[in-house]
Amino acid sequence: MPTVVSRALLTAVLCILVASSVTAEPARYEIQRDTSEVTFLATSLLQNANGKFHRFSGEVVADPSEPSAARVKLSVDTASIDTGITKRDNHLRSDDFLFVERFPAATFQSSRVEGSGPRVTVVGTLTMRGVTREIAVPVDLQITATDLVARGEFTVNRLHYGIKYQSFLNPVNDTVRIAFVLRGRSRSGGPPTAPQR
C-alpha cells in the first residue's frame, strides 16, 4: 500500500510540474529609453531631415524559447522630435506634418511575428496622425530571460498618414525611413545594461 501511495504522490507532483511549465507566463520586457533609440531620415531636394525622437515607451511580452509568439507595444511622443534645427522641428510639429497638438503620439501594436530565428518580421498596425495602417517590420532580435535587443528599419509613405505638405522650393520625398534599436529589460531582472556600440 505505501508503494501505491508513493507512486500516486509522485505522479501528482509530476503533473503539477508539467502543468506549471506549460502555463508559465512569458517574460515582460520594458523598453529602456536611456539605452534605446528611434531615428528617422526624411529626404528632400535641398536639405535632408535626419533626426530622432527623445521620448517613447513600450513593452515586449515574449518567451525566449518561442519569439514567434511575442507581442509588442510602442508609443512615441511626437512632440519630442529633434532634427537639430528648432525652426524645422516646430514646423514638423505643426499641422503640416505630425500635428502634435491633436495627435500627441504615434503608436505601434503587433498582431503577429513571422519567423523563429534571430531575424523575424513583426507585423502590426502603425497609427500616426489619426490613421492606422498595417506594416511589416524586419527585426534582428536577441533575447534572453532578462534582456531583449531589437534592431530594424522600415519605410513609411507619409501620404498614407495624411501628411501631404509639399514645398515648391524644396520638394520633400513621400517616403521616410525609420530606424530603431530597442533594448528591453525583464521586470524581474536587474538594472538595465549599457548600450552596445
Q: Write down the H helix ranges in the chain.
A: 2-22, 86-93
Please state the pTM of the whole predicted model: 0.81
- Residue 40 contacts residue 51 (beta carbons within 8 Å): yes
Rounded Cα distance, 157 and 53, in Å? 18
Q: Where are the domains of the chain?
A: 26-186
Given the candidates 3.40.1010.20, 3.30.830.10, 1.20.1050.140, 2.40.128.110, the CATH classification of the domain at 26-186 is 2.40.128.110
pLDDT given for residue 11 in this prediction: 47
User: Each residue of 87-146: pLDDT tens digit?
Assistant: 999 999 999 999 999 999 999 999 999 998 799 999 999 999 999 999 999 999 999 999
Give tens-digit pLDDT for 23-81.
457 899 999 999 999 999 999 998 899 999 999 999 999 998 888 899 999 999 999 99
User: Hey, what's the cell of 109?
Assistant: 501594436
What is the DSSP secondary structure assignment for residue 163, as one 8-state letter?
-
- For residue 190, pLDDT over 60 is answered with no
The DSSP code for 129 is: T
